[in-house]
Amino acid sequence: MSHSETRVARLLREMRVSFLLALPLVLGQVSSMAMNIIDTLLAGRHGPVTLAAVGVGSAVWSVVILVSIGVLMAVPPTVAQLNGAGRRAEIGPVFRQAAWLALALGFGLFFVVRAGALALEPMGITAEARPEAVAFLRAISWGAPGLALYFCLRNLSEGVAWTLPTMVFGIAGLVLLAPLGWALMFGLQMGAAGLGYAVAITLYCQCAALGSYLFHSRRFADLGLFARFDPPRWAPIRDLLRLGLPMGVSVFMEGSLFVATALLIGKLGTTQIAAHQVAILMASLCFMVPLGVAMATTVRVGHAVGAGDPSAVRWSAAAGYTLAMVAQTLSALVLVFAGVWLAGFFTQDPAVIALAGLLMAYAAVFQYPDGLQAMSAGALRGLKDTRVPMFITVLAYWGVGLPLGYWFGLVKGQGAPGLWTGLILGLSVAAGLLGWRFWRLARRPLAPVRVT
């Protein structure tokens, strides 16, 4: 920072850079989230049982999304640090090994979803919604390899600070899913299974289109992403896993808190399931903004680490925190004052609308801790600090959030609102501990960038 530049001016300049990098990521994340909203809208038009079934199935499918996102989050900070250090020639080999990792991950998750479909009855999911939920999961499971490869390709692009493809191909998938889902669900009368197949087909189309773009784009030509065929090599894959697995656990711990909450609500009947599905979709849509900002912060912090600039690390994070808190304030206001109105777009059932509106008020409360924990996790990923955050998330979400949610919701009989209280408490603990961890590390000297 120059002597003539004030701290406020520096923060505003950093916020502008982060905003321009984050905007395509936010829109891309929103478009991905909007795919779930389309599923919910179509399911709601099909009937409350289908809506409840898709809600349960989406909760299980979200495990696949979370694990894929988490493990493959090793790619952006690795690529960003190499890019910041001027070692772009090393990015192509890293990408090819990451692609092998994504393929193996995708095929493994295919079987996880299939097993999840078989576990709905032992979980106690209401019998009325169970058959359609199983059909949805069996159909969507085919998309798991395509999802993992798509994330790998997208993360490579984001790692070199080119985030526009995330937005473009995310919106393209959204445009494809809406008519395809309608055709399969209503035209071919496939019900919830039609939605599952529509999502799977869309994922493979997104993967093929983004891969073709990276292959032909001059922006990536010097990286040699597809210059040669590399067989899988254990050493670089092991290094990616060493970085990515703790991230996967961290993301899974947060996401599985929401999944477990949905499955516990699944014991309470179709009205509470449907209301939870509507409310959590709106809360998740709001979360896409701080998540996109956090992803941009990962890249900016990683680039600063590669360039050996500790001051840039701190300023990049400060800009991200400020942007996220502004966004969360706006989200909280929308959820409080427009929750019931928004619920009316998804269902005409008065009981579902009323309960969904109440749950959105709870969601407004956890906007701030959710945004703070997302930002802190993103900044820590830029530093390649993943192990301690993993333990923090285990404690916060499964040591605090889920037990307290279970206690309030089921033991005390508060139902869905009690379970959402657990969400608020778990996110608050994570926000405090992860924020403390990042700012503690950000004051230390930077370690040299290691070849992955």
| 363-393 residue pLDDT tens | 999 899 999 999 999 999 888 888 899 999 9
pLDDT at 448 over 60: no
Per-residue pLDDT band for 117 (boundaries 50, 70, 90) equals: confident
Domain locations along the chain: 7-442
The CA distances from residue 345 to 41, 44, 341, 342, in Å, are: 8, 9, 7, 6
pLDDT at 2 over 60: no
What is this structure's pTM?
0.77
Asked if 429 contacts 400 with a C-beta cutoff of 8 angstroms, the reply is: yes
What is the structure's pLDDT at 320? Answer: 93
Question: From CA 401, how far away is CA 227, in angstroms rounded?
Answer: 47
Question: From CA 264, how far away is CA 406, in angstroms rounded?
Answer: 8
pLDDT in tens, 414-429: 888 898 899 899 999 9
What is the structure's pLDDT at 449? Answer: 57
pLDDT at 445 over 90: no
What is the DSSP-derived secondary structure letter of residue 386? -
* Mean pLDDT of the chain, nearest integer: 86
What is the structure's pLDDT at 447? Answer: 63
Question: From CA 10, how far away is CA 2, in angstroms rounded?
Answer: 9
State what percent of residues in the chain have pLDDT above 70: 97
What is the structure's pLDDT at 452? Answer: 44
Query: Where is pLDDT greater, at 176 or 250?
Result: 176
User: Can you tell me the mean pLDDT for 181-207?
Assistant: 90
DSSP E strands in 21-89: the ranges are none
What is the structure's pLDDT at 3? Answer: 54
279 membership: H or E segment, kind and range: helix 270-307
User: Can you tell me the mean pLDDT for 119-147?
Assistant: 83
pLDDT at 89 over 70: yes
pLDDT at 101 over 80: yes
Write phi, then psi, for 352 (nearest 5 degrees).
Answer: -65, -40
User: Can you tell me the mean pLDDT for 298-322?
Assistant: 90
pLDDT at 15 over 50: yes
What is the structure's pLDDT at 438? Answer: 95
